[in-house]
Amino acid sequence: MTEHNDLVTSTQEITKEALHKLGFDDGMYELIKEPLRFLEVRVPVRMDDGTVKTFTGYRAQHNHAVGPTKGGIRFHPDVNKEEVKALSMWMTLKCGITNLPFGGGKGGIICDPRQMSNQELERLSRGYVKAISQFVGPESDIPAPDVYTNPQIMSWMMDEYSKINRSNAFAFITGKPLSLGGSQGRNRATALGAVITIEEATKRKNIDIKGSRVAIQGFGNAGSFIAKILHDMGAKIVAISESFRALHNPNGLDVDRLVELKEQHGRVTQLFDDSIPKEQLFEVDCDILVPAALSNQITEDNAHQIKAKIIAEAANGPTTPEATRILTERGVLIIPDVLASAGGVTVSYFEWVQNNQGYYWPEAEVNMKLREKMVEAFNTIYDLAEDRKMDMRLAAYVLGIKRTAEASRFRGWA
Ligand code: NAD
């Protein structure tokens, strides 16, 4: 079984358990376990050398009972059907947890954007939108950026959809640049959302963020912003890691310098002679551990070494079910991915609302509204977990799936 299938299976298992806890039967699980619609498209693209290459793309629309589906588009050689389906289900959970009027969606194209010119990427982006245009839109399915897609790609997609529909369809897609209807605060939203859940968790665990020790796996978009925000709040970032190496300083790393170096060089750990093997990040003494890189990183092999009291899953699927069991038994508080990384889709929702209103909010207002959503989501899930003696992940699934299941039942779908 592949890693992707493992992720799908474990997502389905927890969803089934959550539905049973809510009193729904297997009929509801049959409805929810797969996307209601799954598109596979073939996109021919004229390459710069004059040849035509045909790319395969997918779009999963998990469930639209509570509103349009919403979720990113990934450009990556490893994109595959099972993963796109699972990610669309996770988006339903994230939207349910933060009480957004959306179901989950996800898209992907099998391609290697690092090997393609800007012109080729533009033609691919436009071709993909043309292929799915009848099935997406501001009222039905709203895409966003994901791995290796960015505001420029969102702009081409918005422009293509607008041409097809002969109007400026800003609300068709989120993660756009500010000049094209993007929202203030969108680029830091995932990180800020994760930090807000960490703040709430530290209150429950009687840990003072000021002076707390934090280790972060991954120093990319999510990880570097999380490091910066926590550092500015007075936390000590004692370790960070990237694809090859890690940095460790029990007295705290110079985060501002690391962020500067990242802007200049892309990566930072290779610039230091005293870097350590990346695997050692999980062994360092710390209060808070933030996996912000890949899935399946915390496993039964390394869970015993972890010293943190709180784990905030900024990455999607970083902890295996076995590791979750081991850590929960030890009393470690795991803030599950569907909660800790829900800040991005929350501010995407704000972007869509602003596009529909034609009225744009200052960054302080966006951040305040994000805080309200994340604080409420964290505390509802924490209290549910305590009251019903569940781990935080199951409690997050219970909250995340509740509205979609209820709305599906009212509609007579199951
Ligand atoms: P990114 O590509 O910007 O950064 C990934 C980072 O992980 C890089 O610093 C890379 O060096 C590091 N990395 C890769 N392999 C590693 C390894 N084996 N050990 C240690 N570090 C490693 O990606 P990102 O946008 O920061 O996303 C990170 C995670 O957060 C992903 O799981 C993503 O799905 C999730 N996420 C991101 C967002 C967002 O808005 N950026 C939203 C929701 C979830």
Main-chain dihedrals φ then ψ at residue 268, nearest 5 degrees: -125, -35
Same domain, 249 and 126: no
Q: Is residue 134 part of a domain?
A: yes
Instruction: Work out the pLDDT band at 254, boundaries 50, 70, 90.
Output: very high
Same domain, 201 and 322: yes
The residue-averaged pLDDT of 75-89 equals: 94
| Whether pLDDT at 2 is above 60 | no
- Contact present, 412 and 355 (Cβ < 8 Å): no
Same domain, 78 and 122: yes
Q: Is residue 223 part of a domain?
A: yes
Q: Is residue 374 part of a domain?
A: no
Same domain, 117 and 201: no
Q: What is the pLDDT of residues 113-149, one digit of tens each?
A: 999 999 999 999 999 999 999 999 999 999 999 989 9
Q: What is the pLDDT of residues 347-386, one digit of tens each?
A: 999 999 999 999 999 999 999 999 999 999 999 999 999 9
Q: Is residue 384 part of a domain?
A: no
The residue-averaged pLDDT of 53-66 equals: 98
**Weakest-pLDDT range from 78-82, 100-104, 370-374:** 78-82
Q: Whose CA is nearest to atom 20 of ligand 1?
A: 242
Instruction: Work out the pLDDT band at 5, boundaries 50, 70, 90.
Output: low
Q: What pLDDT does 108 receive?
A: 98
Distance between CA atoms of residues 124 and 112, nearest Å: 11
| Residue 106 annotated to the active site | yes
Q: Whose CA is nearest to atom 16 of ligand 1?
A: 243
Q: What is the pLDDT of residues 185-242, one digit of tens each?
A: 999 999 999 999 999 999 999 999 999 999 999 999 899 999 999 999 999 999 999 9
The number of the ligand 1 atom at minimal distance from the alpha carbon of 341 is 43
Residue 269 marked in a binding site: no
Same domain, 230 and 294: yes
Query: Quick one: which of 261, 265, 307 has its CA closest to 288?
Result: 307
Residue 221 marked in a binding site: yes
Percent of the chain with pLDDT over 90: 96
Residue 309 marked in a binding site: no
Residues spanned by the domain of 69: 35-169
Sequential DSSP letters for 337-349: HHHHTTHHHHHHH
| Whether pLDDT at 1 is above 60 | no
Q: Is 51 exposed, middle or buried (0-12, 13-18, 19+ CB in 10 A)?
A: exposed
Q: What is the pLDDT of residues 25-52, one digit of tens each?
A: 999 999 999 999 999 999 999 999 999 9
CA of 196 to the centre of ligand 1 (A): 19
Query: Quick one: which of 117, 184, 125 has its CA closest to 149?
Result: 125
- Contact present, 70 and 78 (Cβ < 8 Å): no
Q: Is residue 3 part of a domain?
A: no
Q: What pLDDT does 3 receive?
A: 62
CA of 149 to the centre of ligand 1 (A): 13
Same domain, 245 and 304: yes
Q: Whose CA is nearest to atom 3 of ligand 1?
A: 220
Same domain, 154 and 193: no
Q: What pLDDT does 353 receive?
A: 98
Q: Catalytic residue, from 16, 33, 85, 106: name it.
A: 106
Q: What is the pLDDT of residues 162-195, one digit of tens each?
A: 999 999 999 999 999 999 999 999 999 999 999 9
Task: Work out the number of other CB atoms within 10 angstroms of the CB of residue 118.
Answer: 12
User: 8 or 363: which carries more pLDDT confidence?
Assistant: 363
Q: What pLDDT does 8 receive?
A: 84
Residue 94 marked in a binding site: yes
What sign does the dihedral 302-308-312-314 (CA atoms) show?
negative
Same domain, 104 and 214: no
CATH of the domain at 147: 3.40.50.10860
Q: Is residue 359 part of a domain?
A: no
Q: What pLDDT does 6 receive?
A: 78
Q: Is residue 108 part of a domain?
A: yes
User: 367 or 9: which carries more pLDDT confidence?
Assistant: 367
Q: Is residue 86 part of a domain?
A: yes
Average pLDDT value over all residues in the chain: 96
Three-state secondary structure string covering 83-123: HHHHHHHHHHHHHHHCCCCCEEEEEEEECCHHHCCHHHHHH
Same domain, 99 and 130: yes
Radius of gyration of the chain (CA): 21
Q: Which of 324, 340, 356 is the last residue of a domain?
A: 340
Distance between CA atoms of residues 97 and 342, nearest Å: 8
Q: What pLDDT does 7 receive?
A: 80
Helix extents (H) in 233-358: 255-265, 321-329, 337-340, 343-357
CA distances from 350 to 181, 192, 219 (A): 11, 15, 26
CA of 218 to the centre of ligand 1 (A): 6
CATH of the domain at 278: 3.40.50.720
CA of 270 to the centre of ligand 1 (A): 17
> Which residues are near ligand 1 (CB < 6 Å)?
190, 217-223, 241-243, 278, 292-294, 314-316, 341, 344
Q: What pLDDT does 18 receive?
A: 98
Distance between CA atoms of residues 229 and 213, nearest Å: 14
Same domain, 249 and 298: yes
Out of 190, 224, 319, mutate this one to test ligand 1's pocket (max ligand atoms within 8 Å of CB): namely 190
Structural domains of the chain, count = 2
The residue-averaged pLDDT of 310-338 equals: 96
Percent of the chain with pLDDT over 70: 99
Same domain, 203 and 139: no
What sign does the dihedral 61-95-24-326 (CA atoms) show?
positive
Same domain, 245 and 317: yes
pTM of the predicted structure, to 2 decimals: 0.95
